[in-house]
Chains A and B, each alone.
Chain A
Amino acid sequence: MLYREAGQFKTSYAADQALLPILQDRIGLSLILLVAFVGIPLLATDFFIGSVMIPFLVFSLAAIGLNILTGYAGQLSLGTGAFMGVGAYACYKLTTYFPDINIILLILFSGVFSAAAGVLFGLPSLRIKGLYLAITTLAAQFFLEWCFIRIAWLYNYNDSGAIEVPTRKLLDIAITGASATPVVRYLVIISVVTLMALVAANVLRGRIGRSWMMIRDMDIAAELMGIRPLRAKLSAFAFSSYYCGVAGALMVFMWIGSAEVESFDINHSFLVLFMVIIGGMGSLLGCFLGAAFIWVLPIIIRAVPQLIGLDLLAATTEHLTNIIIGVLIIFFLIVEPHGLARLWQLGKEKLRTWPFPYASN
């Protein structure tokens, strides 16, 4: 009833191929974008923008990156953290060499370096599959981590081996560095993420995206049908790492403001992987849902005892968070292996037939 596409006729090829063919989806997405671009900057507190929305968006982008590789192309990767690091360090080097070029362009360009790293470490995927490949991505993770600390040139020979984000301005407003306000940083990030999510949505439903899914579903069959595994797999690695790289650059430049090698350790790879699993493999919407869930849940768990006046140790809540997330991961895998995105889909089905669930359509 609420979600019926009946009566919405497609009268042109363009309409048939639209990204959002259903009116309700278009309205819904516009509302979300309106809230995201106007509502939140106007109404929300700095804490909500700076510590909830910004990390959420950064992780969503990283989750999109990993989901392209794991969810769409079927190549399990545990090296997301390191690819994010490549983007961050590349952006740092670029902005020290070209301080006058707009930082947003540099952030977008830094993903290219991490795409190159992704292709390099994706080469084994041509021979290795599944769990074996997952372990070889650990080689990328640990080798790159080692590079981040051993190659002092990467952090401009900083005494602490850390990178510190300089202040960069756009139209005289600081958008990076400590003096950039959360709202400004938020607006930059949401623009980048919206743009890149749009690109991803289109790539995924296009020829390249479909070739990835064929490789995922059965690589030998795909090969017999004329998909070149070399091109398909490596392009998946490149695309995925590009997204992760941009996410890493955003994380350092727009969110934390400084980074050392520990900011890109294996736990980050796992964190993003959890987001993809819980959100739903092979779903763009799932990336956002998963990121929201994994990032926001601990904040809630931390806030709840305070709200109800319970005095829990900070460490206790941390342990509880671990346990709850672990249990939820297992729970989701058992009950709904396709993640939150699948729940949303089921919900849509319900809405379509509501209030007559047994009526056939």
Chain B
Amino acid sequence: MTNRTFTALAAALVVASCWIPVAQAQDSLYIPSLTYRTGPFSGGGTPFADGYADYLNMLNERDGGINGVKIIVEECETAYNSQKGVECYEATKDKGALAYSPLSTGITLALVPKAPIDKIPVFSMGYGLSAAAAGEKFPWTFVYPASYWSQMSSILKYIDANDGIRGKKIGFIYLDAAYGLEPIPLLDQLSESMGFTVAKFPVGVKEMQNQSSQWLNVRKESPDWMIMWGWGAMNPTAIREAAKIRFPLDRFIGNWWAGSHNDLKGVGEAGKGYLAANFSGLGQEYPALQDVLAHVVDKGLSKVSAREDVGNVLYNRGLFNAVVLAEAVRIAQDRTGKKVISGADMREGLENIDLSEERLSELGLPGFTGELKGSCADHEGGGSIFIQQWNGSDWEKVTDLIAPMSDIVRPMLEEAAEAYVSDKPDWQSQTCS
């Protein structure tokens, strides 16, 4: 009965593995990385995870960690699946995790209510719950450098600056899931105040690579501009379909998750002119990235598949996520005077983040992104984005930073935060004076 022996062995193993006390890392900074290098969205998850891990490893290699304390990066595979994400969270939180960046709206939504209980901040950089930008209501969640709503308002501003938006028809094609639905309230609100009409084209997660009917509808509606909230295989398919119906690609704008090298690599020349929002610098010509190349990639410590991939949009995005975390650790260390910090200290670090132009230069990232300054009330920080354009083989930055319409977005964010908290009587808020 080999089967039975096997079963017994398996049972013994699980019992053993579950009762082994979790090794507490006392003299290091433990930063878990919830990644997805598998599944339908792995095309986006992989470069992001590479950039994230490489920067932290570079700090270890170059500086021996942060202020002399080693960083431990542990990856846990979620496959973009909420259940696995929660499991990864539970498996890593007791090891002294400092912050979580799950790169998935679904997992973020599950972690947001857990953060105040476990005292570990959630840093959903440019995704997740837009309302979390309101720091009073969400002390433990951060959406630096901009929420989806701010981003959408910046994109609309860009359209407005390019021959006006009033009276135009804007098409919005989005992934039919939590992620794609997120900016719709703002779009609806602004369509009234800015005087444009909206046509919506949802793309089911299962239909990502089968979008011809959505684009037939686009052709029928013939909007003046298209905005896309896409991810994974949806992006290249959409750009191809847009080119097929001869939609002018320089009037087709993707959000910052719909404008990476991976999305356009296969489309190539056919995608020329396509626009996308972004907030992290392009290319590897920054001193910090050169350090990553020298200390990590060239030593074979990176998982990145090719040296050229360093500096890609999503690689740099993941790297920037790590930069903010590392900076928050430094600030937390300064403020508390401790070398080894806790999740609660980390929260304080994140809240007091201050990446000025000067500081970015010190970090070896001059002009990499807009200034980012958090506060108790403002968990969004900067909010500015720029627009980049695909030239057939690479991305080019075509605008300066575009600030969001904070006067409109901010009250809506606060209202949404209020609504989120309203049915949770014992929700933990903070007061900012």
A259 to B105, CA, bound (A): 11
Residue of B nearest to A180 (CB): B117
Report B83-121 residues with CB < 8 Å from chain A CB: 83, 86-87, 90-91, 94, 105-106, 109-110, 113-114, 116-117
Q: Would you call A260 and B106 a contact (CB within 8 A)? A: yes
Report A138-174 residues with CB < 8 Å from chain B CB: 142, 146, 149, 159-162, 164-167
Instruction: List B residues at the A interface (Cβ < 8 Å).
Output: 1, 3-4, 7, 10, 13-14, 17-22, 35, 37-38, 42, 75-77, 79, 81-83, 86-87, 90-91, 94, 105-106, 109-110, 113-114, 116-117, 129-131, 176-179, 181-182, 184-185, 202, 204-206, 303, 416, 420, 423-426
Q: Would you call A47 and B110 a contact (CB within 8 A)? A: no
Q: Would you call B178 and A300 a contact (CB within 8 A)? A: no
Neighbour of B423 across the interface among A47, A55, A166, A257, CB < 8 A: A166
Q: Would you call B17 and A303 a contact (CB within 8 A)? A: yes
Selecting from A117-125, A207-215, A335-343, the interface stretch reads A335-343
Q: Mark A271-285, 1 if CB is under 8 A from B, else 0.
A: 000000000000000
A51 to B416, CA, bound (A): 31
Given contacts A160-B178, A260-B82, contact A297 B10 (CB under 8 A): yes
Inside 8 A of A307's CB, which chain B residues have their CB? 17, 20
Neighbour of A96 across the interface among B90, B423, B424, CB < 8 A: B423
A42 to B109, CA, bound (A): 30
A-B contact pairs, 19 of them (CB 8 A): A46-B90, A51-B86, A160-B181, A161-B177, A161-B178, A162-B106, A162-B178, A164-B420, A167-B424, A255-B86, A256-B82, A258-B82, A260-B109, A262-B82, A267-B81, A297-B10, A313-B37, A318-B37, A319-B38
Inside 8 A of A261's CB, which chain B residues have their CB? 177-178
Query: In whole Å, how far is A153's beta carbon from the nearest beta carbon of chain B?
Result: 14
Neighbour of B110 across the interface among A257, A313, A340, A343, CB < 8 A: A257
Count residues of chain A with CB under 8 A from any CB of chain B. 55
A166 to B129, CA, bound (A): 17
Residue of A nearest to B425 (CB): A167
The yes or no answer to A48 lying at the interface (CB within 8 A) is: yes
A-B complex: 3 closest residue pairs judged by Cβ atoms? A315-B37, A178-B113, A314-B77
Given contacts A167-B425, A315-B77, contact A45 B18 (CB under 8 A): yes
Inside 8 A of A45's CB, which chain B residues have their CB? 18-19, 21-22, 94
Q: Would you call A265 and B205 a contact (CB within 8 A)? A: yes
The yes or no answer to A263 lying at the interface (CB within 8 A) is: yes
* Interface residues of A, dominant DSSP: helix
Q: Would you call A47 and B205 a contact (CB within 8 A)? A: no
The yes or no answer to A317 lying at the interface (CB within 8 A) is: yes
The yes or no answer to A220 lying at the interface (CB within 8 A) is: no
Inside 8 A of B35's CB, which chain A residues have their CB? 314-315
Q: Would you call B177 and A179 a contact (CB within 8 A)? A: no
Neighbour of A314 across the interface among B1, B75, B424, CB < 8 A: B75
A335 to B6, CA, bound (A): 14
Q: Mark A172-204, 1 if CB is under 8 A from B, else 0.
A: 000001110000000000000000000000000
Q: Would you call B110 and A48 a contact (CB within 8 A)? A: no
The yes or no answer to A304 lying at the interface (CB within 8 A) is: yes
Inside 8 A of A329's CB, which chain B residues have their CB? none
Neighbour of A318 across the interface among B14, B77, B181, CB < 8 A: B77
Q: Would you call A347 and B4 a contact (CB within 8 A)? A: yes
Inside 8 A of A259's CB, which chain B residues have their CB? 82
The yes or no answer to A50 lying at the interface (CB within 8 A) is: yes
Q: Would you call A159 and B182 a contact (CB within 8 A)? A: yes
